Every structure is written in C-alpha cells, then in structure tokens.
Structure 1
C-alpha cells in the first residue's frame, strides 16, 4: 500500500518543461520562462551575481522604460515611474527587444563599451527581471558583438532582491 502511495505522489508532481534556446532573438511575450542556457555566455544565480558585484564586475540592466500612455489627456502631467536596479549597474533601457532600432543598437553598443572600458574580454553581467527574455536577447547580442565574457543573470533584480533584501537603487537611464 505504501509503495502505491509513493508512486502516486511522484506522479502528481508537475514536471516543468525545459525551455530550449531559440536560434534567433525572442519576441513578445517577453515575460515568460527562459532557457537555462545561453550559448557563448555564462549563466549565473543570485549568489554568484552578488560575488561578481562585490568584485567590481560591470552590471548592465536592460529593462525597458515605461512610456507615457498614448491616450493620456494633453493636460495630464506624466511622471515616469521609478526604476530600481542593482547598485553600480548602468541602465541601457530598451536594448533587449527582439528587434532594435538604430538608436537602441547604438545605446547597447556604446553602453557595453563604456561598461567594459572598451575591453571585449572584460566580464559584463546582463540582467533585467526574472523570466524576462529582454536580458537573454541583450546578452545574446553582446556575444554576437564579440564580447567573450558575457554573464547572463536570468533572475535579475527579482532574485537579487530576494537574496539581498531591499538593496536596489534608483536607476538613471543612459541618455538616448
């Protein structure tokens, strides 16, 4: 009897399907389960991210900015919501979409160059939030740009905050 109960209990546990790496960049929906891997990059958890941040490794946040709603009445005052990020990170907003405009590509290229001091062999951690394809896309682009020490932190600010508490700081977007 006990053996049947054990088999039933195992059968009731859901098995999560692994998310395969797509060949190209991923589009909407961006908030969805992500792969455990990224070809050409190291994938880390919050514990390793904390160690790298303490060592002075460059961190790049790619979460998009919140846009002013199109249907907002003209006389309304728009205040962009605050975005908090990992201390020391630079915010290269809107650089994780499936397709990037010329401006967004330039922002990513110039921002990575600034974050690494122009050294494509320097480590750089790329993140946004948990289960967000934006960071996967941006890290994949960094690899394609020739950066050899791309580190993808798929848990992003969500996992950082879970590990460190409210240790996030106000982000200032990199100028367009």
Structure 2
C-alpha cells in the first residue's frame, strides 16, 4: 500500500492488473486491465473515429438508486447522466453478476442494436478505471458477439479530449 502511494505521488504508473478469469464482482472503480481477450481495446482517438462512423456506443454506468431514507411520497429525480452523444445507456448491465431480468434486458438491447447481427461492432464504455464496461464487453463476447470493442477511458477520456457530452436517459426495457 505504501509503495502504491509512493508510485502515485512520484507520477509513476503502476502496471495494469491482469485479466481475471471471470467477471469483476466488487471494487468496480479501480484500475482495469489493459486488455480484454477477444475484444479490441481502443484509445479516445480511435473511439471518436468509430463514433463518427456510426458504430453503436453502449454506456453501462449504473443508475443511482432512489435513496432508501426518502419519506414516502417524496419526489425523486435521477441525477443527470452526461455521456457520449447518441450512446445507448444500458444502466446496471456491467455488474459481475446480473439478475435474470437485467441479463434479459442486456441481451435484448444488444440484439435490437445489432439487428441480430452478432458480427456488428459495438463499443462498450463507462468511466476510466471502471470494471463495469470490462464486464459488459466480456459478457457480450460470451453471448457470441465477435466485434466487441472496449473503450476503457470512457466518458472521462472523451471529456478530457474536449469532445461533446450529452445527457442520457436509460434505454427502457
């Protein structure tokens, strides 16, 4: 732990962690691997070219839950979600384990976005250092999608490059 703090303070970057065999189940906001076996990993510049070419982008950021302590009848409005323009926000689909309903939602949305063509490219993203997009891209590979593209810098890298963001709403089930 002290070595990691020293490396960060000195500006030295730690090596990315290796790919796990399965999905990441916890600590989702931590350094991610540099690779995803079976997927293409892209930089912000490459992601922008894909976006301009019309490749579907899939944002897997979780949707903030309604606070449990709100009194009954209190109006709850989701905080705004800024993302890559025209991305499809498939909220909560990047967790390590998905409820059957969430998995059906994810499979159905991918099928609709590709017209059932599992060879159609799809770009998965979240935020920088977010395992949710890694998990979602890995899951798409397990469904038989062959042109899975992972954008690990996500909306953070997009924003850092002064590219536009827009507010998104989750894709309905």
Q: TM over 0.5, yes or no?
A: yes
8 Å Cα contact 1:60/1:115 also seen in 2: no
1:124-143 correspondence runs (5 A): 124-143=122-141
Question: Alpha-carbon deviation of 1:77?
Answer: 2.1
For 1:98, the equivalent position in structure 2 comes to 96
Secondary structure at the aligned position of 2:105 is classed as helix
Q: Which residue of 1 aligns with 2:167?
A: 170
Following superposition, the deviation at residue 169 of structure 1 comes to 1.1
CA distance in 2, matches of 1:169, 1:113: 24
Which stretches in structure 1 are left out of the alignment for 5+ residues?
1-11
Provide the rounded CA distance (Å) in 2 between the counterparts of 1:54 and 1:175.
Answer: 25
Alpha-carbon offset, residue 164 of structure 1:
2.7
The alignment status of 1:153 with 2:127, answered yes or no, reads no
CA distance in 2, matches of 1:105, 1:85: 22
RMSD of equivalent CA atoms: 1.3
- The residue aligned with 1:76 is 74
Misfit runs of 4+, over 6 Å: none
> What TM-score does the superposition give when structure 2 sets the normalisation length?
0.90
Q: Which runs of 5+ in 2 are unaligned?
A: 1-9
The counterpart of 1:52, out of the listed 44, 50, 53, is 50
Query: How many angstroms does 1:73 deviate by?
Result: 2.1
Corresponding residue to 1:62 among 57, 60, 63: 60
TM-score w.r.t. the length of structure 1 is 0.89
Matched positions, count: 164
